[in-house]
Amino acid sequence: MHEAIFAHELRKTYPREVRALDGLSMAAEPGTIFALAGPNGAGKSTTVKILTTLSRPDSGEAQVAGIDVLRHPDRVRRSIGVVGQKTGATPEATGRENLVMQGEIYGLTGRPLRQRVGELLACFQLQEAADRSTKTYSGGMRRRLDVALGLVNRPQVLFLDEPTTGLDPDARTELWHEIERLAGEEEMTILLTTHYLDEADRLADQLAIVDHGRIVAQGTPEALKSELRGDALQVELAEPPSEGRVQAALDSLSGLSEIAIDQNVVRARAEHGASAIPAALNALEREGLSAASVVLARPSLDDVYLRHAGRVYHENGREAA
Amino acid sequence: MKPLRHTWQVTLRYLRALFRQPAWIGITLIQPMIWLLLFGALFKSVARIPGFHGGSYIEFLTPGLIVMLAISSAGWSGMAFIEDMNIGVMDRFLVSPIWRGALNAGSVAQQVIIIGVQSLIVVGLSLAVGGHFPNGAGGVAILIGVSALLGASFASLSNALALVVRQRESLIGAVTSVTLPLTFLSGAFIQQSLAPGWIQSVARFNPVNWAVQAGRSAAAQHTDWNLVATRTGLLAGLLLVSAWLATRSFRAYQRSI
């Protein structure tokens, strides 16, 4: 059986030497949700653009639904649905008009088209707003319409590029339910990109963390988290420490690893969280560093990101050293 | 079948957007009136210049104005493309099996419809203020036809440019610095034989002048059918090249994203 999505050593450099992809490879099984997570500029959207035939890589190969993306882009286009980062709906047209036009593009006409549009409007709770200009839609409604547009042709593979960015929490949860339903009942393969690690954790069967144009870690969210032994220890210092003092204090302690400093926040992995706290606080105190707060947490995907990308995860895409 | 269906869908989409903007409809209706009355009054004495033989100035002006309005509305066609790129619609189309040619052809068809409506308004106004069309409806149809041909080329070139520059400001700069000079380097407002020699030489290579010559001759008495045929042929050739260029430009756009 073919993988639903397969990419091998994709490379792409934009003008002015901006390297977007640096040998990215991935594979997604049919009927699963595969998430590409990482900060803005990591290469997630470029990957989606290549897999959806919008853009071409400098080198590498890719197949979607078993079809070569570079050799048969037209055939790929018929088998996929794409929900881009921007809305993609015509603001002056109504929801129904948008869906009808999308159906016509895929060759649907007459009764089957009307039926399909009706189904989608019902499925995404857009019936009441169906004949209103989409300019009047709320953010959540517009996003639901975008997903509906991506589904008109009953795609085998659905691409969702940051589907929940900018949505309020309620709309976000609603869309999550919808995505889970599509993968479950409709047996669609879904490639999702997100810069929210909690979203990837919640939805993905397989998760790949993308950083600087390549995948730095891949597996189920559970496996990735359990690879991290121990708890995450986070100490907020009263004031930012000078160079090297935190290392001097903590390096000698056994059971602490992966020590990272971001301004006045110190993060480390602790084999035995409970006993690590007093030891770490004592050691810091001896160096004259007083703690303002201490947090101990079970591993999260943020920790997975920190471990593999070597940086603290910031959702807005800025990176801390 | 598929190219036609897709083209119609794209045209419908643009027309829908336009007809839901009452302000746009108002401007489109009022603009021809302003130009016709303004230029008609401003250049009225042109008809008294020795050597002018175009009858009344209104009669002379009407074909020139129809051509000018055609390029000044079609020239902005690319703005809708840029808007589509900004809101994500262009990308949605490009990952769908839509025929690439339909994206340009649909936009061009919409421009042609606008040109047709605007031209009829000008013709009506012109008749109302005392203009005549000696060749009747046939002559007027040819006049509007060549204006639409020229407008279709301008729309295609504007779309092509939009796909390459992708910036409103650049497109505005290019359109304004092309349409006005080309209009004044043609016989739209002044009989060519009264213009300086160098303008006459330049005008021979100016597509706007081709349309003005063919349209005016077709609408007037003593039509030079040879002139109408050759200029129409040149305009058709220009349209083929422009449409090909616009469809090709999608590749340039896709390379840049």
Inspect the interface and report whether the beta carbons of A78 and B255 lie closer than 8 Å.
Answer: no
d(CA A79, CA A250): 55
CB distance from B16 to chain A under 8 Å?
Answer: yes
Band of pLDDT at residue A288, cut at 50, 70 and 90: confident
Place of tokens 């792409």: A12
The predicted pLDDT at position A316 comes to 47
Burial class (CB in 10 A: 0-12, 13-18, 19+), A27: middle
Calculate how close chain A gets to B99, using CA atoms only, in Å: 9
CB distance from B20 to chain A under 8 Å?
Answer: yes
Sign, CA torsion A211/A213/A214/A219:
positive
Report the range of poorest mean pLDDT among A196-205, A250-259, B126-135. Answer: A250-259
Q: Which of B126, B158, B150 is nearest to B211 (CA)?
A: B150
Report whether pLDDT(A19) > 60. Answer: yes
Range of the domain at B26: 2-256
Name the pTM for this structure: 0.85
Nearest CA in chain A to B97: A77
Average pLDDT, chain B: 93
Report whether pLDDT(B35) > 80. Answer: yes
Inspect the interface and report whether the beta carbons of B89 and A88 lie closer than 8 Å.
Answer: yes
Nearest CA in chain A to B21: A92
Please give the structure tokens belonging to residue B243.
Answer: 């449409």
Please give the structure tokens belonging to residue A255.
Answer: 């059971």
Q: Which of B13, B88, B254 lies at the smallest CB-CB distance from A88?
A: B88
Count: domains in chain B = 1
CATH 3.40.50.300 residue ranges for chain A? 5-220
d(CA B103, CA B246): 9
d(CA A47, CA B79): 29
Q: In the predicted model, what is the mean pLDDT of residues A204-230?
A: 88
CATH 3.30.70.100 residue ranges for chain A? 229-298
Q: Which of A54, A86, A87 lies at the smallest CB-CB distance from B95?
A: A54
The predicted pLDDT at position A256 comes to 83
CB distance from A91 to chain B under 8 Å?
Answer: yes
Q: Which residue has the higher pLDDT, A40 or B233?
A: B233
- What is the third-level CATH fold of A229-298? Alpha-Beta Plaits (3.30.70)
Calculate how close chain B gets to A150, using CA atoms only, in Å: 9
Number of A:B CB contacts under 8 A?
73
How many whole angstroms from its chain centre is CA A97?
Answer: 30
CB distance from B97 to chain A under 8 Å?
Answer: yes
Let me know: does A140 contact A129? Beta carbons within 8 Å: no
Three-state secondary structure call for residue B137: helix
Please give the structure tokens belonging to residue A46.
Answer: 């470029």
Cα-based angle A84, A87, A89 (whole degrees, multiple of 5): 115
Report whether pLDDT(A226) > 80. Answer: no
Please give the structure tokens belonging to residue A90.
Answer: 């015509």
The predicted pLDDT at position B249 comes to 95
CB distance from A166 to chain B under 8 Å?
Answer: no
Q: Which residue has the higher pLDDT, B90 or A274?
A: B90
Q: Which residue has the higher pLDDT, A310 or A241?
A: A241
Report whether pLDDT(A321) > 50. Answer: no
Calculate how close chain A gets to B104, using CA atoms only, in Å: 15
Report whether pLDDT(A66) > 90. Answer: yes
The secondary structure element, H or E, covering residue B87 is helix B77-87
Strand order in the sheet with A33-37: A80-83, A157-161, A189-194, A33-37, A206-211, A214-219
The predicted pLDDT at position B54 comes to 67
Band of pLDDT at residue A129, cut at 50, 70 and 90: very high
The predicted pLDDT at position B24 comes to 85
CB distance from A93 to chain B under 8 Å?
Answer: yes
Q: In the predicted model, what is the mean pLDDT of residues A116-134?
A: 95
Report whether pLDDT(A317) > 70. Answer: no
For chain A, the farthest-separated pair of C-alpha atoms sits apart, in whole angstroms, at 79
Q: Which long-range contacts does A61-64 make (Cβ < 8 Å, 24+ apart)? A: A61/A7, A61/A8, A61/A9, A61/A10, A62/A5, A62/A6, A62/A7, A62/A8, A62/A10, A63/A2, A63/A3, A63/A5, A63/A6, A64/A4, A64/A5, A64/A6, A64/A157
Report whether pLDDT(A64) > 90. Answer: yes
> Does the predicted interface ipTM exceed a cut of 0.85?
yes
Report whether pLDDT(B12) > 50. Answer: yes
CB distance from A154 to chain B under 8 Å?
Answer: no
Query: Which residue of A46, A54, A79 to mutate against B (max B Cβ within 10 Å)?
Result: A54
The predicted pLDDT at position A270 comes to 83
How many whole angstroms from its chain centre is CA B234?
Answer: 15
Report whether pLDDT(A310) > 80. Answer: no
Band of pLDDT at residue A320, cut at 50, 70 and 90: very low
Let me know: does A106 contact B96? Beta carbons within 8 Å: yes
Report whether pLDDT(B17) > 70. Answer: yes
The predicted pLDDT at position A57 comes to 95
Report whether pLDDT(B55) > 80. Answer: no
Inspect the interface and report whether the beta carbons of B87 and A101 lie closer than 8 Å.
Answer: no
How many whole angstroms from its chain centre is CA B231?
Answer: 15
A219 torsion bin: left (phi>0), alpha (psi -120 to 50), beta (else):
left
**Which listed CATH number (3.40.50.300, 3.30.70.520, 3.40.50.720, 2.60.120.260) goes with A5-220?**
3.40.50.300
Please give the structure tokens belonging to residue B108.
Answer: 């061009």
Inspect the interface and report whether the beta carbons of B91 and A84 lie closer than 8 Å.
Answer: yes
Q: Which of A52, A66, A40, A38 is nearest to A10 (CA)?
A: A52
Q: What is the torsion angle, in degrees rounded to the nearest 10, for the CA atoms of residue A60, residue A65, residue A70 and residue A71? A: 130
Calculate how close chain B gets to A157, using CA atoms only, in Å: 13
Q: Which of A42, A122, A87, A280 is nearest to B91 (CA)?
A: A87
Spell out the residues 6+ positions from residue A289 whose beta carbon is closer than 8 angstroms to its own.
A237, A238, A241, A245, A246, A249
Calculate how close chain B gets to A174, using CA atoms only, in Å: 23
pLDDT digits (tens, 9 = 90+) for B162-218: 999 999 999 999 999 999 999 999 999 888 888 899 999 999 999 999 999 999 999
CB contacts, 8 Å: B12 with chain A: 101
Q: Which of A86, A92, A101 lies at the smallest CB-CB distance from B88?
A: A86
